[in-house]
Structures are given as structure tokens and as C-alpha cells.
Structure 1
């Protein structure tokens, strides 16, 4: 009797695993079709360029201080040398902090990118959910993400359906 129950449970467990359907999308391809993404990319480039110029300016100031110190070094007393070197060191520390706050792991650039891309990604996620429900998929993977996908059967590619759901142009660009 226990053996029969075990086999029945095994059969039911297998049937629920078999019923799951998987699909994948290519978010990089989808984003390349979205005019909003192109606008967001241009906006990010402008912000990055501005912050890069600010950082370069700060770095240039430090270099000028170092050059000025080297030129005046022989004329300075020991106390004046210490004072100038301390000033340079302080500026370098401030520069490193600024650089990390802007371009660091959770820096301003990362936050700005997240802010700009959030509405676009939400639109993709909502459309992915609609596609998953329409085609009764249990999971949709993103081929372009960090998750490794060694092989993907093209018949499980739902990228075009998602592009269609987003109302984007499906024509291939040359």
C-alpha cells in the first residue's frame, strides 16, 4: 500500500514539473528598438560627460598644485613644505571621495541610471508578465542578463511577442 502511494505521489510530482513552460527574451534587442531607451542613453551620456568634466577639473587643480609645489620646493621652509604637502593630500582625498561618490558602486551615476531606466524596465516587466500569462509560461528568462544561458531553443524565444506587446517596430535594422 505504501509503495502505491509513493508511486502516485511520484507521478503527481512529475506531472506538475512537466506542466511548467519556459521562455526567454533578449532585453538588449528589445531596448535597441525602444526610442525611450535611446533618449535615456543620450541623457545618461550628457550627465556622465558633465560629471567627468567636473572630476577632470578637480584632478587638474591637484596636478597644478603639485607642479607649483615642485617649482617652489627649494624656496620653502620645512614647515611650509609640510603645509603645502598636507594641502595637496587633503585635495587628493577630497578628489577620491568625489570620484567614488559619483562613479562608485552605488554612486550618483548608478543612481541616476537606475532612476532614468526604471520606467523603461517597468514597462518591459509588465509586458513580460502579460506575455507569460498569454502563453502560459511559468518562467521567462532574459538572455542578455548575467545569468548564463548556454543554449536556448529559438522556439522558446518570446522577444518578438514582447516587442509587439510594447508596440515597437519589429523590422530588422540594417
Structure 2
């Protein structure tokens, strides 16, 4: 009876061990920074961002000058001209806000450029991670870079280098 119970317990323990979930940890930020095409795309994105910010700064400077001029002249202006200048200022301010939203707002030009330049690279990394998960039979792969907080990760679980190998980066 004891022997049968011991064998049953051993089989149950073996079943639990073989059924254990396998997981790995990767650092997607580290992986992306090792990819030359990501660096190039990030540089292009930064250039677009700088150009658009410069455009906005120029319009802001022109608007500030218009406000300064209006403040200096407002005392001498007749009411109809005053109203016209205030409307002009309001329209220019609205134009500037619309431009900021168009360039940097949700689903603005920067978002679209990021989708165009960075998303294909992220998809490539995701596919490599998926391939690693299938090849190594991982049930979970956690990303320790930004979104999910990993308090501790044993370095031997980090498979970022394996993903880079799949991507052909040394």
C-alpha cells in the first residue's frame, strides 16, 4: 500500500514537473537599439520631428510678434480695427494649435511616420520572438523593457541575444 502510494505520488510529481510552464525574459528596447535599421529610422523620425517643431516655433514667434505689435498699437486703434486685429490673432492662434495637433497630436504626422518607419522593424522583432518561443517551447515571453514591470529576472532567462541571432545581428 505504501509502495503504491509512493509510486502514485512520484507519478503525480513527475506530471506536474513536465507540465510546468516555460518562460523567458527579453528586453525589446535593447534588441531594437542593436538593430541598425531601427537606429536609421529613429534618426529619420527625429529629423522630421525637429523640422515640424521648427515650423511650429516659427509660427509661434510670428504670433508673439503680432501680439506685441497689437499691444503697442491697441490704444490708438479704432474699435473696428481693434476687432479685426483680435480676430486675426485668434485665427492665427487657432492655426498654430491645429498645426501642433496635426504634427504631434494623436494619430498626427509624427504618429503616422513612426508607424511607417518603426512598426515594420517592431513586427520583424515580434516575429523573431515568436519564432524563438516556438523553437524553444516557451509558454510565456515577458518583456522587461517598458510596459510590464519585472521586479527581478534571472539573467540566464534573458533571451534577447537569441532574438538578435534570429534577426542576424551579432
Taking structure 2 as the reference length, the TM-score comes to: 0.85
**1:26-70 per-position Cα deviation (integer Å, ceiling 9, x unaligned):** 111111211101101110111011101111111112112112212
Gap regions ≥5 residues in structure 2: 1-11
Provide the aligned C-alpha RMSD in A: 1.8
Q: 1:16 to 1:84 in 2, by over 3 A?
A: farther
TM-score by length of 1: 0.83
Give CA deviations for 1:102-138 in whole Å, capped at 9, x if unaligned: 1123221122112111111111011101111111001
C-alpha displacement at 1:16, in angstroms? 9.5
2:27 aligns with 26
Match runs of 1:146-165 below 5 Å? 146-165=147-166
Instruction: Map 1:73-152 to 2 at 5 A.
Output: 73-152=74-153
Paired with 1:151 and 1:59, the residues of 2 have a C-alpha distance of 47
Partner of 1:64: 65
Size of the alignment, in residue pairs?
A: 157
**Matches of 2:150 and 2:19, distance apart in 1:** 20
Provide structure 1 residue ranges, at least 5 long, that are not aligned to the other structure. 1-10, 170-174
CA distance in 2, matches of 1:103, 1:119: 21
- SS of residue in 1 equivalent to 2:166: helix
